[in-house]
Structure 1
Amino acid sequence: MKADPNSLSGVQRAAVLLLSLGEADAAEVLKHMGAKEVQKLGLAMATLTNVSRDQVTRVMDEFTSALDGQTSLGVGADEYIRNMLVQALGAEKANSLIDRILLGRNTTGLDTLKWMDPRAIADLVRNEHPQIIAIVMAHLDADQAAATLKQLPERVRADVLLRIATLDGIPPNALNELNEIMERQFAGNQNVKSSNIGGVKVAANILNFMDSGQDQVILGAVSQVDQELGNRIADLMFVFDDIIELADKDIQLVLREVTGERLGIALRGADAKVKEKITRNMSQRAAEILLEDMEARGPVRLSDVEGAQKEILTIVRRMSDEGTIVLASGGAEALV
C-alpha cells in the first residue's frame, strides 16, 4: 500500500523500521515480542509496498527522536526499558514482558500456547480441571481465548468464564503447577513468580470475541450463578453499536485503519444512530461513496457482517490498549 508519511499507522511505522534494520537486527527485536505482536508486524511487513524515501526518513527521525527523549542523563537502564516497552505496547501488555526481562520471570509453557491454534489448545486442556482451563484462558489474548472457548464442550464454557472473572491473582505454586502441565508438551524453566491474571475485564473481553448469541448464552449461565458478577461483566462488554459512545476524534482515528469495504459490510447490521455517527465523521464525498457501495452491494450474509464488525472491534480494542483512544462501554466507565 502507498500512503503519505503521516498516514502510516503505528504498526506500519514499526514495519518500516524493522525492514530498514536488516534481517539480523530485526530478528533480535522480534525475539522480545509476543506472538500477537510478531504476527501483526509480519503481516504489516508483508503487505507494505512502495515505501518512499521520505516515509523511511520520517519514521527513522521519529524513532531517533523518541530514543533521544528516553536516554537523558540520570535515567537508569531498567527505567528506560520499562518506559520504552510501555510506550511501544501499552501498560497492560508491557507488564508481563517487563516481568520476564527485569524480574527474571519465565512462563515458557504458557507463552508457547500463544503460538498455537485454538483447536490445539482446547485439545490440550479439555481434560484438565476448569480452574486450570480458566488460568490458561486468562493468559491468552482475548480473541485467541474466545476461539479456544468455542472448541470446548458447551457445558464447561460458563464455568470457565465464571472462574476467569473471579480470578484474583495466581499464587506461585499454582502457576508453577500449571506451567508443569504445559511443559509436559514443551520444555522450559518452571521458575515463575506470582502473576495477576484474569478478572472481570478479561472475561468481558473474551465474551466480546465470541459469536453473536454464544456470548449471551454464556453470560446468562454466569448470571444464574452470580447475578452481580454477570452484570459487572455485561457492563464491561463493548459491542459494535457501542461505537456510538466514542468521541468524534476517536472515531476518526479508527476510520483511518478500516477499509471502506469492511466498514460498509459492518454497518449493514448496525443501528441507524451508529451509521449516522460514522458518516458524520467522514468527509462528505467519502460518506456518499460508502452509502452508494452499501446500496449497490446487495444482500450480505449475517456471518460476513459479524466478521467485519469483529475486525473493527479488534482495531478499536487494540487502539484502546495502546492509549490512542478511550473506550466507554455503553456509557459505562472508561476502559483504560
Structure 2
Amino acid sequence: MALVSQSTGENPVPATTGSPVPAGTQLQVGGEQRQLRNDEKAAALLLALGPDYGKPIFDELDELEIRQLSRAMSRLGPITQEMLDDLMIEFVTTVSSNGSLSGNTDSTERLLLSFLPQERVDAIMEEIRGPAGRNMWEKLSNVQADVLAAYLKNEYPQTIAVVLSKIATEHASKVLAVLPEELAMDVVQRMLGLDPVQKEILEKIEMTLRTEFMSTLNHTKRRDSHEQMAEIFNAFDRQTEARFITSLEEINRDDAERIKQLMFTFEDLARLDMPAIQTLLSRLDKRDLALALKGASDAVKEFFFQNMSSRAAKLLQDDMTDMGPVRLKDVDEAQTRMVATAKDLAAKGEIVILKTKSDDQMIA
C-alpha cells in the first residue's frame, strides 16, 4: 500500500500493485507537519486508496458518514510525507513513501462520482462548496427578506410554513412581515399547527428551492453597489477615505458623488435632531467624545456643546484642553466609534438615520 512518487514526473504507483494511483488522488511534494484528527485520517486514507480500493469502504457508510468524510476530504489540504507514513503505519505495519497527499473539492468530487450517482454527489458538493459549508436552510437565512418573500408568495401556504419553520427565527419574522397580510396570517395558522414533516417531503422542498430559487438567485435584484461601497468607505480612516474619494473623482466623478451622498460620516452627526443627539450622548464614552471633538470643525463642536448643559459643555471643553496635543489616528478612531454607536442605535430603532445626505432631517 506504500505510495511512491516517481522522479520522472509519472503518476505515483502503489508499491504492492504496480497500478497507477487513480486520477482522483492528487499527490504533491511539501506541506506542513500537523496532527491529524480522526476524520482527516480517514479522508487521507481513502484519498490514497482512490476509487478502486475506496469504493467497498464507501459502500458500507451511511449518508451522514459520507457527508462528514467528504467534508474532511475537501478541507484536508497538504499531507506531508511523515504524516502519510505515520498514517499508513497506523493501519498497516510498514510504509515507504516520498510523496505527499492533498485533498481538495475537485479530487473529492471525482472520487464520489466513481460510486455515487451525479444527483447525490451534486447535493453533497453543493453543501461543501456553499458559504462556510452551510446547508440550504442556513443559506436561505442569508437571502434578503424581500427577495425570499417575493418567491415564497407564489407557493402553497403549507410550503411557506415549512420553509419559515426551518430558517432562522429572526429572518423568518422579516419574511413574514413583508408577505401579503392575508397570506401571512394563513401561514401563521399553519405554522401553529405544523406537524413533523416527512423526510421525503422535506427533501422535495429542498430540491425545489435549490433548483428553482437558489440557482437563479444571481439574477434577482442585488443590493445597490454604491450603497455597499459607501459602507466600505465609511470604515476607512480619514486619510484613506480622502485618498480613495480623490482618486475616484478623477476616474468617475458621478460615482464619487453618489458614494459621498450615501456615506454617513462623523460630520453628519451634526444633522441629528435634539432627541436623537441626546440619546447618542447618553451612550458615548466621555473620553471618546472629547477626543473626537478635538479634531472636529468649529461647527460640529458648537453643535455638541449646544446640546449639552452649560456645566457638561464646560467640563467637556476642560477635558479637551487637558488632553493637549493628540494623534490624528486616535481622533479618527474615536470619531469612527461615535459613528458606529449612532448606527447601532439606528439598527435598534432608538434613532433613525436617513440614508442620504439630501435628506435634511433625522428623526429620533
TM-score of the superposition, structure 2-length normalised?
Answer: 0.39
Structure possessing the higher radius of gyration over alpha carbons: 2
